[in-house]
Chain A
Amino acid sequence: MAATYEPIATTTLGSAASSITFSSIPSTYTDLRVVLTTTATSAFYGKLTFNGDTGANYSETWIDGSGSAAASGRNSSNNWLYISQRQIQTGQPQLITTDIFSYAGSTYKTALETYNQDQNGSGWVGSQVGLWRSTAAITSITYTTSTSTFTAGTTATLYGIKSA
């Protein structure tokens, strides 16, 4: 049986870094998924961009909970997608997932992100849908920090999913 869920690339940071990039992504899959586990050197907002595009071509709608309150919001005409609407924390590791659908197609691209940031006494859980208004196939995915760095030990894996 042909493989339908394949690892394309994986990164484990040996030292702190301000960005993680997957490049030269083949167009032979249908969807992509990134699984990122990380902590912050000091708390920061993480950003996600495609194909190095830092133009105002991103928007997102999100919902999340703090453990005491739920919230929802929107960002439009941004220069990136947030990987979480809340700062990546120091302390306990956090799980961020990104699903990108029909990434090689010729329509605008949608991404579904979840953020799981429980810190044993504080934290966030959230989900958001993002839109990148570009008809280009996605060939690179970059996670960057607004300030600070991803800590050593951060892992990120890019998977390709085939529909047939």
Chain B
Amino acid sequence: MANTYTLISSNTLSSSAASVTFSSIPATYTDLVLRVSARGDAATQAPNFDIFLNSDTTSKYSATWLQGSGSSVVSSSASNASYGRGSITDGATETSNTFSSSEFYFPNYNSTAAKPYSIITVEETNATAAYMQAYASLYRGTSGISTISLSTASGGYNFVAGSSFYLYGIKNS
């Protein structure tokens, strides 16, 4: 049987970078899974990074999310945004050699309808607070997803070397 869960592309940074892009994503799969292990050089805790689909910077993104810190839980949302709420990294002030873990799931990424996708992201640091987030996200673009970009630019920092990004394709037959 043909492989159902296939690595499409990967990128492990050898030096810091403000963005990572997967382009020319083949339309031969059903769903996409993006797994990220990331750390940022921002002097803050848990800086966020953004996601752009098909290089779209128009107000087609929205999300509802849930965040726990180890002592509290909150929920928030964003609508008609020009970027997708991405994920969190371990920042420069957090426990060294520690990277966050995130998984993005894009079902039916070739659909010509709005596309829901999920994100689960966790960071850990040996401190009194660390964050985990779950996002219900929506991209209202009507083209299949052929490009995924992750960017730290809005936070003014970079992914550090060693951050890794793996894009998988899943076939439903």
Give the interface SS of chain B, mostly helix, strand, loop or mixed. Answer: strand
Closest CB in chain B relative to A82 CB, distance in Å: 16
Is B75 in contact with A68, judged by CB distance below 8 angstroms? yes
User: A93 CB to closest chain B CB, in angstroms?
Assistant: 5
Which chain B residue has the least Cβ–Cβ distance from A121? B79
Chain A residues positioned under 8 Å from B172 (CB to CB) = 7, 10, 157, 159
Report how far A65 CA is from B108 CA in the complex, Å: 24
Interface string of B137-173 (1 = CB under 8 A from A): 1101000000000000000000000000000001111
Interface string of A83-111 (1 = CB under 8 A from B): 00000000011110100000000000000
The answer to whether B134 and A114 touch across the interface, beta carbons within 8 angstroms, is yes
Whether B73 is near chain A, meaning CB under 8 Å from some CB there, is: yes
A3 touches B62 (CB 8 A): no
Residues of B within 8 A of A35 (CB): 31, 105, 107
Residue of A nearest to B115 (CB): A93
Question: Is A127 part of the binding interface, using a Cβ–Cβ cutoff of 8 Å?
Answer: yes
Q: Number of residues in B with C-beta < 8 Å to the partner?
A: 38
Give how many A residues have a beta carbon under 8 Å from the other chain's beta carbons: 39
| A37 and B64 contact, Cβ closer than 8 Å, known pairs A7-B172, A116-B137 | no
- Whether B134 contacts A93 by the Cβ 8 Å rule is no
Q: Tell me, in angstroms, the Cα distance from A4 to B66 when the chains sit together.
A: 32
CA distance A120 to B77 in the complex (A): 9
Given contacts A97-B105, A121-B79, A157-B30, contact A126 B66 (CB under 8 A): yes
Asked if B80 is an interface residue, CB under 8 A from chain A, the answer is yes
What's the Cα separation between A122 and B114 when bound, in Å?
Answer: 15
B83 at the interface (CB under 8 A from A): no
Q: By the criterion CB–CB under 8 Å, are B4 and A93 in contact? A: no
New A-B pairs, 14, CB < 8 Å, besides A121-B62, A159-B172: A35-B105, A65-B64, A65-B65, A65-B66, A65-B74, A65-B134, A93-B115, A94-B116, A95-B117, A114-B134, A116-B118, A118-B63, A118-B64, A118-B77
Contact surface of B with A, Cβ cutoff 8 Å: 1, 3-5, 30-31, 62-66, 73-77, 79-80, 105, 107-108, 113-118, 120, 134-138, 140, 170-173
